[in-house]
Amino acid sequence: MFDTALLIVLMLAAPAILAAAMIYAMISHPKLAPEERRQLHDAIDGLYD
């Protein structure tokens, strides 16, 4: 009985924990300044030239 309840709780909690971690990562990720974004874009383009 307890094992089944624990399994159900874990199955319901896992997606919520994963979603919370993804939201936290998106919110806490620093925004790039326009100059930094351009430098990053140029560096990536340089890889494909």
What does the pLDDT look like over 16-41, one tens digit per residue?
999 999 999 999 988 889 999 999 99
Please check the confidence at residue 1 and state whether its pLDDT lies above 90: no
Question: How far is Cα of residue 43 from the mean position of the Cα atoms in its chain?
Answer: 23
Res 5: pLDDT: 92
Query: For residue 21, which of 29, 10, 33, 31 has the smallest C-alpha distance?
Result: 29
Res 8: pLDDT: 93
Structural domain span for residue 27: 2-48
On whether the CB atoms of residues 32 and 40 are closer than 8 A, the answer is yes
* Count of domains forming the chain: 1
Query: Going by C-beta distance under 8 Å and a sequence separation of 6 or more, which residues neighbour residue 32?
Result: 40
Res 23: pLDDT: 96
pTM for the whole structure:
0.54
Res 32: pLDDT: 87
